[in-house]
Amino acid sequence: MANNLYHLIQHIIDSDLPICTNNLYIKTNIDTWKNSVAWELHDDFFRKIKIWPEHWRTQPDHPDTLYPWGKGNWSFWEYSSHGTIKGINGNVLISKINPQR
């Protein structure tokens, strides 16, 4: 999975699309990233892309540390699937912005 993700992101960066690494985020479930992506194969490359982890908790504080980014280096964090918004029936996802990033 790490090789496929690396090649996909590299293809996007190399394309004519008006996108650069500042505009790219890897959005992933924390368990999937830790257990299914051999990120070590491209750790320097992935570190350059911002991370948006999904890690649902009842007490929002911070997501688990994800490597290769390290502690506190997330841009957004999806921490719940039980948000509410007036005019929308049912639950909505809730994310936080990291003020240090």
pLDDT digit string, tens, across residues 45-54: 999 999 999 9
User: Tokens representing 45?
Assistant: 């490359």
Closest-CA residue to 56 (of 77, 76, 26, 25): 77
Can you give the pLDDT at residue 4?
Answer: 96
Q: What is the pTM of this model?
A: 0.82
If one counts the domains in the chain, the total is 1
Residue 71: give the domain boundaries: 2-97
- How confident is residue 61, by pLDDT bands cut at 50, 70 and 90? confident
The answer on pLDDT for 101 being more than 80 is no
> What Cα–Cα distance (Å) separates residue 24 from each residue in 2, 47, 48, 85?
16, 12, 9, 27
